[in-house]
Copies of this chain bind each other. A is one copy, B any other.
């Protein structure tokens, strides 16, 4: 386990760039420069460093799930059988691999793992549930929470 790098120092310009690109990642460099009050070349250097130092992990188009037939979201809490390291790692690896799993967290409390699943409809979730989740080794309990309404998704990091 190695220590993660922390941002060395972020200038006021860097923060502005982060805020702006978080809201619209497709802004041109010249437009970005105007908004943060820098010359295009200076702005370019800042932005490049933010990518190189991995402060910005990536830029991603957010697609409306309704439009591409992935309307159904389900939150799933998992309790594992035995709390051995191998069991946990095997589960985590499966979650990483399955494309229907959009998020997966190891948590403290009455639950071991929380998953956010996205599929076409409820019957697709049923298939996923029985074929993928239940067939994983070490799964003792599965608590399923169907999402009735998405109040907020993909909220921006407060900066």
A residues near B (Cβ < 8 Å) are 4, 6-7, 10, 18, 21-26, 53-68, 70, 73, 75, 92, 95-96, 99-111, 113-114, 118, 143-159
Contacts and interface: CB of A to CB of B under 8 A. Distances in A.
Contact of A103 (B99, B109, B154): B154
B24 A59 contact: yes
Contact of A60 (B62, B73, B105, B147): B62
A46 to B, nearest CB: 13
A66 B6 contact: yes
Contact of A158 (B53, B58, B70, B114): B70
A153 B22 CA distance: 16
A155 B99 contact: yes
A152 B56 CA distance: 17
Contacts of A4: 66
B96 A152 contact: yes
Give the interface centre of A18, A24, A59, A60 by most chain B CB atoms within 10 Å.
Answer: A60
A60 B25 contact: yes
Contact of A63 (B56, B144, B153): B56
9 pairs of A and B residues whose beta carbons are closest in the complex: A102-B155, A99-B158, A21-B61, A107-B145, A104-B151, A106-B149, A25-B59, A7-B67, A104-B152
Contact of A58 (B62, B96, B157): B62
